[in-house]
Amino acid sequence: MKNKMKKVLAILMAVMTMVLIGCTGVMAKSQSIKNGTYKVTVNFWKADQNKASMSNPSLNKTAKLRVNNGKMTMTIYTHPMTYGKQSAALQEMKVYNGKGWTQARVVSRDKKGNPSAFSFPVYKKTTYIPIQVNPHVKQMGNTYLDARLKISWDTLKKA
C-alpha cells in the first residue's frame, strides 16, 4: 500500500511540475507598464502548435501598444498576402478578453479598402492571446479561424 501511495504521489508531483513549467513559459512577467506608447514585436501563431500560423506573413511584426492608467490597447498592422494563386487580406479579427471575444476595430485601410490596422484592448500581459481571424476567402468557408497573437514582451520599447 505504501509503494502504491508513493507512486501516486510521484506521478502527481511530476504532473504538477510540468503544469508549473508550462505556465511560466506562457505567462509574461507580470510587472506593470508605465503610461505611454510603445513598440513590441508580434507574430500570428497557430492556435494549437508552437509555430507561426499560415497567416503570419500578412502581419507587420511591429505593433503599437498604448498604456493609460494600467489599460493596454494594441494596434497591429497587416497587409495582403498570397498563398499559391490566392491573394487575401485579413478582413476581421476577434480577440479573447479573458471572458469572451471582442471584435478588433479596423483603424485604417489600404488603397483597395482592405483593413491595414486593427486595434483592441489587451486584457493582461501574457505571451499568447487567443484570436480569431477571417480573411473572407471563399475556399476557406469565409469563417473565423483560430490562432494566437504571440507578443514578445522582451522587445517592448518606448515609441
- pLDDT tens digits for the chain (159 residues)? 555 444 443 443 443 434 333 433 333 333 589 999 999 999 999 999 999 999 999 999 999 999 999 999 999 999 999 888 888 999 999 999 999 999 999 999 999 999 999 999 999 999 999 999 999 987 777 899 999 999 999 999 999
Q: CA–CA separation, 81 vs 11, rounded Å?
A: 47
pLDDT score, position 87: 87
CATH architecture of 31-158: Sandwich (2.60)
Three cell numbers, residue 55:
497567416
What are the residue ranges of helices labelled H in 2-159?
Answer: 2-26
Q: Answer whether 62's CB lies under 8 Å from 75's CB.
A: no
Q: What is the DSSP letter of 47?
A: S
> Which residues lie below 8 Å from residue 154, measured CB to CB, with a gap of 6+?
none
Q: Answer whether 117's CB lies under 8 Å from 76's CB.
A: yes
pLDDT score, position 31: 55
pLDDT score, position 8: 42
- The residue extents of the domains of the chain are 31-158
Q: Which residues, in sequence order, are bridge partners of residue 5?
A: none
Q: CA–CA separation, 153 vs 41, rounded Å?
A: 8
Q: Answer whether 89's CB lies under 8 Å from 58's CB.
A: yes
Nearest to 43 by CA among 157, 135, 152: 152
Nearest to 155 by CA among 8, 17, 43: 43
Q: Which residues, in sequence order, are bridge partners of residue 135?
A: none
pTM for the structure as a whole:
0.79
